[in-house]
Structure 1
Amino acid sequence: MSVGLAGLLIVGSCDADNATERGSGATVRLAHGPTSVREGVPVGYAHDREGAATAAVNTMQALTQAGQGRIAMDAVETALLARDPGPHLRDSMRIGRDRPAGSDVVNVVPAAVSVTAFTSSSARVMVWTMAVSRSAITEGAPVSVVTAWATHTVELVWERGDWKAKDAIGRVGPSPDEVVAPGADSPLSQPLQSGYYTVYVN
């Protein structure tokens, strides 16, 4: 299922000391990127495995915010997506375009990141996430909180001097109790990426 349809969203964090500001055009100082924030979207990643991992996590988080109507999908498309995105990304773009901001909030934290394929022109990154959603079913109803685990596979290409997402696929699971002995399709079966940075986009 597509990340847009599933609502599988990523939220990262960046220490305030590592960035000069959070507004449009802000300069960010992180070893593997991003180097700046344009229209709320972090851009500028190192041409290495760590840069690809960082770009994948931040792309998912930016798609999350666009899907909640908090940043413009056009800005995400310009900054982080390849010229010819795949079908799953196109679904996410369609769902998130011109979406009004709502009161519901979904935050997703990257628990583990692994780069499963890498060349100078492309990369595949798997991201295992925990999502926490807070919403009310109807107006005035009690707020409910739900947690869920998911795995995202992000295909990236080196294009226009930066890592751009070519496609992204999300699936539910595995939950922590299922990863004591992770299967071959789990990001936890791969070497984990220690060097990646995420920027909270709000």
Structure 2
Amino acid sequence: MKVRVAHGPTGVRDGVPIGYTRDVEGAATAAVNTVQALTQAGQGRITMDAVQAALLARDPGPHLRSSMRIGRDRIASADVVNLVPAAVSVTAFTQSAARVVVWTVAVSRTAIAEGAPISVVTAWATHTVELVWEHGDWKAKDAAGQVGPTPEEVVAPGIDSPLGRPLQSGYYTVYVN
């Protein structure tokens, strides 16, 4: 499937967005889509093999290898986790590598324990994605996440906080059902 967006993706392969421009905005978009694709693979909605072929570098780092193990051969679950990017910041960029921080909110609808009623849970997280330019596209070399900060914690983020840096508007979300 072909897609026409300013900085990518330019297409979708096996349910995974591919094809980004070799600039700050393309790196930001690739990082957001990587975080979302890893989440979808972790739920069994797309295969980790498809994510690996489309978005991951040939020699992934330790955090990314761990995510790959978690998402490998998952069976699709009735539980739903939607990961929505709230802000993205490119904290380092060259023509061959980029570091992108993606602040997300996750919305989950699931039973917290077996036999418990269905609950809706939200959680804020910050994901750092290390990208490399490989085979004509941005590929994730490593990706790590941590819980938080919540919105009330970032009213005045310090310069050391990824959210204290300028935010990029170069990412797009695409609703696919």
Q: Which range, TM-score by smaller chain?
A: over 0.9
For residue 30 of structure 2, what is the aligned residue in structure 1? Answer: 55
Paired with 1:62 and 1:70, the residues of 2 have a C-alpha distance of 9
For residue 58 of structure 2, what is the aligned residue in structure 1? Answer: 83
Paired with 1:131 and 1:171, the residues of 2 have a C-alpha distance of 12
For residue 102 of structure 1, what is the aligned residue in structure 2? Answer: 77
User: In the TM superposition, what whole-angstrom CA distance separates every residue of 1:52-109 from its partner, at most 9, and x where no partner exists?
Assistant: 0000000110001000000010010000000000000000000100000111111111
Q: Which amino acid aligns with 2:150?
A: S
For residue 151 of structure 1, what is the aligned residue in structure 2? Answer: 126
CA deviation after TM superposition for structure 1 residue 195, in Å: 1.8
Q: Which amino acid aligns with 1:128?
A: W
| Count of residue correspondences | 177
CA deviation after TM superposition for structure 1 residue 184, in Å: 3.3
TM score, norm. by length of structure 1: 0.84
For residue 18 of structure 1, what is the aligned residue in structure 2? Answer: none
**Identity over aligned residues, as a percent?**
81
For residue 41 of structure 1, what is the aligned residue in structure 2? Answer: 16
Match of 1:180 among 155, 164, 171: 155
Which 4+ runs in 1 deviate beyond 2 A?
137-141, 183-187, 198-202
Gaps in structure 1 of 5+ consecutive residues: 1-25
Paired with 1:127 and 1:137, the residues of 2 have a C-alpha distance of 26
Paired with 1:183 and 1:123, the residues of 2 have a C-alpha distance of 22
Match of 2:144 among 169, 192, 196: 169
Paired with 1:164 and 1:153, the residues of 2 have a C-alpha distance of 13
User: In the TM superposition, what whole-angstrom CA distance separates every residue of 1:141-189 from its partner, at most 9, and x where no partner exists?
Assistant: 3210111111010000000000000000101111011001113342221
Gaps in structure 2 of 5+ consecutive residues: none
Q: Which amino acid aligns with 2:46?
A: I
In angstroms, what is the RMSD of aligned CA positions? 1.3
Paired with 2:93 and 2:172, the residues of 1 have a C-alpha distance of 18
Matches within 5 A, 1:11-30: 26-30=1-5
CA deviation after TM superposition for structure 1 residue 197, in Å: 1.4
CA deviation after TM superposition for structure 1 residue 140, in Å: 5.3
Match of 1:118 among 55, 73, 93: 93
